[in-house]
Structure 1
Amino acid sequence: MVRGVAFSEELKQEMFELRDKKRLSIKQISILKKKPYKSVWNIITKHDKKKMNKKRGRPEKTSERDKRRIARYTKKNRRISHRRIADALDIDISPTTTLRVLHQKGFKSIRLRRRPFLTVQHINARIRFASDYLCNELLSLIPIVFTDEKKFRYDGPDGWASYWFHVTDKPGIAQMSKDYGKYKGVMVHMALSNYGILNVSRVSGKMNADQWADIVSDHVIPECNVAHGDSYLYQRDNASVHKRKDVVELFEDEGVKFLDWPVLSPDLNPVENVWALLVRKVYKNGRTFTNDSDLWQVIKTESARITALQILPFVNSFRSRLCKVLLRQGKYVQ
């Protein structure tokens, strides 16, 4: 707590400018501003200490020039390991020091996204689809039924389950994975719209065109008719089981209108977001399963608890995703 009148920030800034720009001494500044010498000295000295921010300990092994070289090299080689950067630049530092420099320069390691490579034809198809849909006002008024399939494993959503091993545990003791079989797990087909989840069906064995047709005709289309009548667009990806000519013609004769979905466009499908929501519920608290029936029962229970209000933001974001596709010139959107 000051005993006199505290200096304003404007006055402090003026004193700093007099010292830095006009090169006046502290005594000259105190006379010019009619302030006590000791008060001016304290303010300017504390300001200088904050600017210096001197680091204690031994001097750094890396110079500022080496840090800039590491940053430039990493920007050009984004997938290089931090253990190889020092050898590539002929700098005598450890991998730990290299990693610390990268963090200081604003780099952080991010896991690669598993997405197929988009060719020029794929990009052009995505741009055409987004443009045609956004420009057609009548088409945008028709509700869309989005569909997708996903396989749920016993240990987790991606099969890369892990556990914590303590140093006091015996070396021979290990937590065994329950996903020891290639075909273990449950394949699930989901259909949703702005009404919420319309149908969640289990796929028995390997998905083929006949089985997909049975699921759509017996379970999905009746739910679509209840929610939207005959006025809706049916979205499906371009997997071979969804594109068999005789099956598609059969559905079109029954009045089903398919959305001309572009190839390699899972980022536009709101079902992908609902999968992520459902996965967190199915495997919460590290829950695992030992058989298909228990896993399927939990999937049905948790999917029934997802409300239409939770799904509606994903469905309503479809137009904004198409706008982002155009802004990104056909590339993947987040």
Structure 2
Amino acid sequence: MRPISNDMQNRIVQLLKEGVSGEEISTKTGVSTGTISKIRKNHDLGDLKTNGGRPFVISTLLGRRILRNFNSGNYKNASDATRKLLEDGENISAETIGRFLKESGYAAIHKPKVLPLTKHRMKERYEFARAHLPWTIDDWKKVIFSDETKVNRIDSDGLQWTWTNGDKLKDFQVQHIIKHGGGSLILWGCLMWYGVGYLSNIKGNINSDFYVGILEDELMKTIDWYDLQKEDIIFQQDNASIHTAKKIPKWLENNNITVLRWPPHFPDLNPIENLWSILKQRLLQYEKQPDGMLELWSRVENVWESITQNECQKLIESMPKRIKAVYNAKGGHTKY
């Protein structure tokens, strides 16, 4: 038998006791079925199952305890739960806990990166959601959502997972944003019912004059491309200081563009955040990292242009649900 660590042997023994098949254990651990069979014999665990077996059953009382600890943030993930339960004399594998969580209606998700919410910010979010509860999809079709994002040349945004049952996310179920790294592009883009807009590659520090240039170029070209009337659209931008500089509201007013008043710290309501995620996930599908920033920009353009109208429409159609989620969370974090 190829030497394996004691921890791995103990994990395999526990899975065998729980009735997990040898093939499934092999898939999970990378240990051959032959080695697993020898471990089974050494521990006198009976015949090796190859097509599944009776799964370990978590009692109702223990199950409630596990869910309570996940809901409170005491258990960070299945492995953490296994370790802490073992300290209390309960020997249950992470796989079994994960299966139990799924059966209980939970799902593993990436921890969203969010800014901390104060009571004042939550109140602003709640009031915005309450004011826009009556809006229909037809209302949201008029909105052009805009935002900036950073795209790394070499990905460094570590994804963290958390378990959720679909309720509003708690503080321990999100990643708090601290700062960005380097070696990246800063992009400005927009999204609407009809598709994506023109994309801007922001080079250097952005100021109000530069942002006016984006509005005059990328935004106006987007409006013209989709043959829209400025009077018929509603423009969304967040409350970044560059967006609220004196020149910006004046330019928008002079161009007869209505602005959607947007509360601070509201990225989970902006569907373009989901579009940025789509962009970055598709960039990760390239087999090799880009050799330089020019190649990265070329890839960004290609992926951006491949985003379909249908994908954009699904995001716009989610707006009433997003509004309701923020309202139900009383301004707190949501799954979006």
TM-score, scaled relative to structure 2: 0.63
Counterpart amino acid of residue 218 in structure 1: D
Q: What residue number does 1:166 align with? A: none
Q: Per-residue deviation at 1:259? A: 0.6
| Contact 1:325 1:331 survives alignment (8 Å) | yes
**Where does residue 288 of structure 1 map in the other structure?**
289
Aligned twin of 1:106: 101
CA contact (8 A) 2:135 2:320 kept: no
Q: CA separation in 1, counterparts of 2:127 and 2:64?
A: 42
Q: Tell me, what secondary structure is at the counterpart of 2:215? A: helix
Separation (CA, whole Å) in 1 of partners of 2:269 and 2:67: 34
- The letter of the residue matching 1:124 is K
CA contact (8 A) 2:196 2:309 kept: yes
Pick closer, same or farther for the CA change 1:240–1:79 going to 2, 3 Å: farther
Please name the residue that 1:229 is paired with.
229
Matched, 1:209 2:208: yes
Deviation at 1:211, TM superposition (A): 1.8
* Partner-residue secondary structure (3-state), 2:148: strand
Q: State the SS of the aligned residue for 2:330.
A: coil
Counterpart contact for 1:234–1:259, Cα < 8 Å = yes
Structure 2 residue aligned with 1:130: 129
Contact map agreement 1:142 1:233 (CA 8 A) in 2: no
The number of residues matched between the two structures is: 252
- 3-state SS of paired residue (2:146): strand
1:305–1:77 Cα change, 3 Å: closer
Deviations 1:271-312 (A, max 9, x none): 112112222322214431121111101111221122212211
Q: Secondary structure at the match of 1:284?
A: coil
8 Å CA contact 1:71–1:105 kept in 2: the answer is no
| CA-CA distance at 1:120 after TM superposition | 2.1
| Mapped contact 1:192–1:198 kept (Cα < 8 A) | yes
Computing the radius of gyration from Cα coordinates, the structure with the larger value is 1
Pair 1:131–1:251, CA change in 2 (3 A): same
Structure 2 residue identity aligned to 1:143: K
Residue 20 of structure 2: aligned partner: none
User: Does the 8 Å contact 2:81/2:94 carry over to 1?
Assistant: yes
> Structure 2 matches for 1:1-334, cutoff 5 A?
57=45, 71=66, 74-75=69-70, 76-79=72-75, 81-82=80-81, 85=84, 91=88, 97=92, 99=94, 102-103=97-98, 106=101, 112-135=111-134, 140=139, 143-156=142-155, 158-160=156-158, 182-227=181-226, 228-230=228-230, 231-334=232-335
Q: How many Å apart are 1:121 and its aligned residue?
A: 1.8
Q: Give, in angstroms, the shift of residue 70 of structure 1.
A: 6.4
Q: Against the structure 1 CA distance between its residues 103 and 253, is the aligned structure 2 distance closer, same or farther, given a 3 Å change threshold?
A: closer
After superposition, the C-alpha distances for 1:197-239 in whole angstroms (9 at most, x for unaligned) are 1211111123333322211122212322453212111100111
* Equivalent position amino acid for 1:251 in 2: L
CA contact (8 A) 1:127 1:325 kept: yes
The RMSD of aligned alpha carbons is 3.6
Instruction: Say if 1:133 and 1:139, in contact at 8 Å, map to a contact too.
Output: no
In structure 2, distance between residues paired with 1:130 and 1:72: 30
Distance in 1, matches of 2:186 and 2:248, equals 21
Query: 3-state SS of the aligned residue for 2:279?
Result: helix
Q: 1:281 to 1:293 in 2, by over 3 A?
A: same
Rounded Cα–Cα distance in structure 2 between residues aligned with 1:319 and 1:255: 26
How much identity, in percent, do the aligned residues show? 20
3-state secondary structure, aligned to 1:149: strand
Contact persistence 1:144–1:235 (CA under 8 A): yes
Preserved contact between residue 129 and residue 324 of structure 2 (Cα < 8 Å): yes
Structure 2 unpaired stretches of 5+: 1-43, 47-57, 160-179
Distance 2:325 2:208 in 1: 33
Partner-residue secondary structure (3-state), 2:282: helix
Q: How far, CA to CA, are the matches of 1:222 and 1:139 in structure 2? A: 23
Kept after mapping to 2: 8 A contact 1:199/1:223: yes
Quote the offset at 1:138 in angstroms: 12
Greater displacement, 103-112 / 147-156:
103-112
